Amino acid sequence: MFIQDYVGAIDGTHVPANVPVEIQEKFRGRKEGTTQNVLAAITFDLKFIYVLAGWEESAHYSQVLGDALSRTSGLKILEGI
């Protein structure tokens, strides 16, 4: 992320996922099928600067955000912003 790429918004969503039968329960959506959590961050001019996919549907949003912030090449939020 470049210094001019300030985070404008962060949000999560669920997208359909095909996963092995043995772990499908973790990815089971509230409705039909299996889904995965996807976290995305955009700039104020609506450019994607970060996307993290792969967390199971049952993961809490704070878990997904914490993972994104803790990764070496993860989401960076400038201090004081």
Q: What is the pTM of this model?
A: 0.74
36 near 53, Cβ under 8 Å?
A: yes
User: What is the DSSP annotation of 10-57?
Assistant: EEEEEEE----GGGHHHHB-SSSSBEEEEEEEEETTS-EEEEEEEEET
Residue 26 structure tokens: 């973790």
Residue 1, pLDDT above cutoff 60: no
pLDDT tens readout for residues 28-59: 877 778 888 899 999 888 899 899 988 887 78
